[in-house]
Each structure stands twice: as C-alpha cells, then as structure tokens.
Chain A
C-alpha cells in the first residue's frame, strides 16, 4: 500500500477560517515530516516540518502536530487568506531520510 496517505484531496474554506490536512504514514522508523506548498506551475516549497522527538511545532499561522503512536501528522492553518490557496503535500521518509514519499496532495481553496 501507499507509504503516505493524505486527506482530504480538496478543501474549500472561507477566508479567516481554519484548515486542517491529515496524513498517515506506514514506516514506524520515519523521523522527519515536512509539509510543502505548491502553487500552480511552481516548485514545492517547504512551509513547516517536524521531527519525531516533538509533538507540535508552530510558525505564525501554521502548525504541525505529530502522533507517533498512531503514525499520523496534521497541518493546521489558522486565519486562512486567499494567498494560502495552493496544493499542499505532506511527506515522510520510507527508508532513512533519502527516500521521501509524498502524499497525494490537498488542493486548498480559500474563498474571499
């Protein structure tokens, strides 16, 4: 099966609302979990990441939570703005840190 599963595939929110995207992974040895934002026609850009020795990390309106026992991690965006509209990908390493597997992506639309 897929190493990384991501839900939902699409998410539409009103400006100012919060958005949550969830990912699960299969390799219990995974220890690094990045989130990427990809705008149309552009490269993936890292927006936040978390290592397995912490449960939560926050950077202004963006936060990531990690539950190692359940093998899932989530991206939280608060006070969403139209410029947050993009495709968001989670990722987790399959073997060590040199085989990064991406989730299927979530298309986030923030309506003004």
Chain B
C-alpha cells in the first residue's frame, strides 16, 4: 500500500539556521499539507498546497515558512531562521482530488529539535 514518506526522521539544528523538511506524497494525490505537533499537544494545521500554490495557511505559517514542490515527487517545508519554539514534530499529509475523497494520509513525521 502506498504511503507518504518524510526525511529526515530527526533533524537537529541551531537557532537561526535554515532547515528544509522533505516529503514524498502518495503519487496520485494532488493536495498536500504540512502540520506541526509540539510534544504532548494537538496537531496544528500549517499550510495546504494544490496546483503548485498555497490554497490555505494558518496564523502559524508566517514569513519564516515556505513550501515548494520542486519536482514531480517532493514537497518541502522550509523554515528560514529557526527559533527554539519551532521544535516539534512536523507531519506531511496528502489526499486525492475529489469531493468524496477527503481522507488525508499522514507521513511518519520529522522531529525537529532547535538548540
């Protein structure tokens, strides 16, 4: 069964550094998402992406964040200048196009630790 994959599984970085988190969505999916989950807290929506552009973003997704689909398979989340409070698990998700296909499939996550 196809799955969403994410790399790396764990990223440690220094405050102020840029990080890029990578995701490979399921191949026939057209909607892509990034979520973040601070340890012990709820899953928070960051951004959704469709047709090579952002379709929705939350109040968390400020100018420090950007997303890109650089090729036909990868979907990336970039944090330009990391802060301590960016430490969290970041999940990528994808879903098919269509009114009856709402299910989002989550990747295994990337644990980001900012020191």
List CB contacts (< 8 Å) of B48-103 with chain A: 48, 50, 55-56, 58, 91, 102-103
A103–B37 alpha-carbon span in the complex (Å): 12
Judge whether A101 and B56 touch: CB under 8 Å. Answer: no
Residues in B lying within 8 Å of A, measured CB to CB: 31, 33, 41-45, 48, 50, 55-56, 58, 91, 102-109
Task: Give the interface size class of chain A.
Answer: 20 to 34
A46, CB-defined interface residue at 8 Å: yes
A98, CB-defined interface residue at 8 Å: yes
Minimal beta-carbon separation of B48 from chain A (angstroms): 4
Judge whether B42 and A100 touch: CB under 8 Å. Answer: no
Known contacts A38-B43, A99-B45, A103-B42; 7 additional CB pairs below 8 A are: A34-B103, A34-B104, A45-B106, A91-B43, A99-B56, A102-B44, A102-B45
Check A43/B42 contact, CB under 8 A, given A95-B56, A96-B56, A98-B31: no
A104, CB-defined interface residue at 8 Å: yes
Minimal beta-carbon separation of B1 from chain A (angstroms): 12
List CB contacts (< 8 Å) of A66-112 with chain B: 89, 91, 94-105
Judge whether A89 and B103 touch: CB under 8 Å. Answer: no
